[in-house]
Chains A and B, each alone.
Chain A
Amino acid sequence: GAVVSQHPSRVICKSGTSVKIECRSLDFQATTMFWYRQFPKKSLMLMATSNEGSKATYEQGVEKDKFLINHASLTLSTLTVTSAHPEDSSFYICSARGGGTSGTSSYNEQFFGPGTRLTVL
Chain B
Amino acid sequence: AQSVTQLGSHVSVSEGALVLLRCNYSSSVPPYLFWYVQYPNQGLQLLLKYTTGATLVKGINGFEAEFKKSETSFHLTKPSAHMSDAAEYFCAVSDTGFQKLVFGTGTRLLVSP
The reply to whether B105 and A42 contact each other, CB–CB distance below 8 Å, is yes
Within the complex, the shortest CB–CB distance from A42 to chain B, in Å, comes to 7
Give the contact stretch, choosing among B15-23, B37-45, B52-60. B37-45
Q: In chain A, residues 60-85, which have Cβ atoms closer than 8 Å to a Cβ of chain B?
A: none
A44 contacts B by Cβ under 8 Å? yes
Q: How large is the interface on B (under 10, 10 to 19, 20 to 34, 35 or more residues)?
A: 20 to 34
Query: Which residues on A sit within 8 Å (CB–CB) of B46?
Result: 109, 111
B31 contacts A by Cβ under 8 Å? no
Query: Which residues on B sit within 8 Å (CB–CB) of A42?
Result: 105-106
Q: How large is the interface on A (under 10, 10 to 19, 20 to 34, 35 or more residues)?
A: 20 to 34
Contact of A110 among B41, B42, B90, B101 (CB under 8 A): B101
Interchain CA distance A4-B42 in the complex, whole Å: 12
The reply to whether B99 and A97 contact each other, CB–CB distance below 8 Å, is yes
Contact of B43 among A43, A109, A113 (CB under 8 A): A113
Interchain CA distance A114-B38 in the complex, whole Å: 9
Q: Mark A80-111, 1 if CB is under 8 A from B, else 0.
A: 00000000000101010100000000001111
A120 contacts B by Cβ under 8 Å? no
A-B residue pairs, 5 tightest by C-beta = A112-B43, A112-B44, A108-B98, A114-B43, A43-B103
